[in-house]
Amino acid sequence: MLEINGQAITVEERRVAYDEEKCVYDLIHSPLYSRARIYNEIIIKEFETRRSFFIPFLFFVEAYANRINDPDKPYSKQTWSDAYTEWLKTL
C-alpha cells in the first residue's frame, strides 16, 4: 500500500495468499498465453521460483539481438524465440 499525504510517503507491504497452480493453469489456458508465449513462460518461471526474471531477460534479448545483427526494435518473433532458447541455457 502506498500512501501519499503532502510530502509524507508511507509504504506498507502486504502479501496475499493465492493458489499458484491455479494461476499457472489459468494463464496457460488463456488467450494471452498463445499470443505471448515467451512472456508468459517467464511469468510462470517467476511463479515457480519466486525470482524476478523478466528484466534480466529483456537485457539478454537486447544483447542477443545486437549479437545477431537484429538491432531494430521491436525484434522479430524469431529473435525473441531464439533468444529465449539461449537464455534458458544460462539458467
Per-residue pLDDT at 31 exceeds 90: yes
Task: Indicate if the pLDDT at residue 48 is higher than 90.
Answer: no
Residue 10 lies in a domain: no
Q: What is the mean pLDDT of the chain?
A: 92
**Does residue 67 sit within a domain?**
yes
CB 25 within 8 A of CB 35: no
2 within a domain of the structure (yes/no): no
In whole angstroms, what is the distance from residue 23 CA to residue 73 CA?
A: 31
Specify the 3-state DSSP secondary structure of 73: coil
Give residue 57's domain range: 18-90
Residue 31 belongs to some domain of the structure: yes
Q: How deeply is 87 buried, as exposed, middle or buried, from its count of CB atoms within 10 A (0-12, 13-18, 19+)? A: middle
Please tell me the predicted confidence (pLDDT) of residue 3: 92
Name the band, by pLDDT with cuts 50, 70 and 90, for residue 47.
Answer: confident
pLDDT beyond 90 at 22:
yes
In a domain? residue 65: yes
Q: What is the pLDDT of residue 90?
A: 93
Residue 5 lies in a domain: no
Residue 44 confidence (pLDDT):
93
Task: Indicate the number of domains in the chain.
Answer: 1
Cβ-contact 53, 45 below 8 angstroms: yes
Q: What is the pTM of this model?
A: 0.73
Is 4 among the domain residues?
no
Query: Does 34 fall in a domain?
Result: yes
**CB environment 53-64: b (16+ within 10 A), e (fewer):** beeebeebbeeb
